[in-house]
C-alpha cells in the first residue's frame, strides 16, 4: 500500500513493536529512493593475518546490489538493501538487511558524512554451510545525498589470528 511519508511515520509511531517496525520498513519500500550498490574492495588487517595468508585472500570484493533509502524526519538515512559480493575466498557472499545512518552535512558544501549500523542476514559457504545468519556491523559514509562511498567493518572475531578485521568498501548510487 502506497502512503505518504507523513502517514507512514505516524503509523510507525503507534501500535506494537511489530506494527511500528512493519510501518517503518513499508515506508522505506514505498517512499525510498531506488539505489544500486557496487562493491570493490575488502581490506584485511595486516596485523591479523600472516603474509602468507594475505597472499591467499581475495581483496577485490567485486559485487552488485540494490536497495532503497529514505531520508527520515530527523535528517538521517534508513535503507533496505541486498548485496552479493565475492568474499575473501572468492566465493559468493550474499547479504540483505537494514541500515541506519546518522547524517551530518559539511558546512557550505553538498558533502555529508554518516555513521551508523546495519543489521542483516548474510550467507557464506564457510559459515554454517551457507545457511543465512544474522549479523550487526558498523557503517560509515562520505559523499552527497545521491552518491556515497561507504564502509563497513567486521571486527576481529577472536583472539586467534586470521578471523575478522576486514574493512569492506562499497558505493551507493541513487537511480532516478
Catalytic residue (choose from 33, 39, 44, 165): 44
The answer to whether residue 44 is catalytic is yes
The answer to whether residue 7 is catalytic is no
Catalytic residue (choose from 39, 79, 88, 141): 88
Catalytic residue (choose from 87, 141, 152, 165): 87
> Do the beta carbons of residue 66 and residue 58 sit within 8 Å?
no
DSSP string, 116-173: EEEEEEEEETTBGGG--EEEEEEEEEEEETTEEEEEEEE---SSSSSS--EEEEEEEE
The answer to whether residue 30 is catalytic is no
> Looking at the annotation, which residues are catalytic?
44, 87-88
Amino acid at each position: 500500500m502506497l502512503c505518504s511519508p507523513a502517514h507512514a511515520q505516524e503509523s510507525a509511531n503507534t501500535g506494537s513493536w511489530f506494527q511500528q517496525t512493519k510501518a517503518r520498513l513499508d515506508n522505506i519500500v514505498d517512499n525510498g529512493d531506488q539505489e544500486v550498490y557496487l562493491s570493490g574492495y575488502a581490506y584485511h588487517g595486516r596485523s591479523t593475518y600472516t603474509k602468507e595468508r594475505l597472499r591467499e585472500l581475495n581483496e577485490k570484493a567485486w559485487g552488485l546490489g540494490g536497495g532503497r533509502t529514505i531520508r527520515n524526519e530527523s535528517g538521517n538515512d534508513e535503507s533496505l538493501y541486498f548485496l552479493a559480493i565475492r568474499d575473501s575466498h572468492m566465493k559468493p557472499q550474499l547479504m540483505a538487511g537494514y541500515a541506519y545512518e546518522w547524517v551530518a552535512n559539511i558546512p557550505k558544501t553538498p558533502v555529508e558524512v554518516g555513521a551508523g549500523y546495519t543489521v542483516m542476514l548474510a550467507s557464506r559457504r564457510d559459515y554454517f554451510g551457507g545457511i543465512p545468519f544474522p549479523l550487526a556491523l558498523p557503517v560509515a559514509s562520505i559523499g552527497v545525498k545521491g552518491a556515497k562511498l561507504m564502509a563497513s567493518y567486521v571486527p576481529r572475531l577472536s583472539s586467534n589470528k586470521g578471523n575478522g578485521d576486514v574493512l569492506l568498501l562499497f558505493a551507493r548510487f541513487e537511480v532516478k
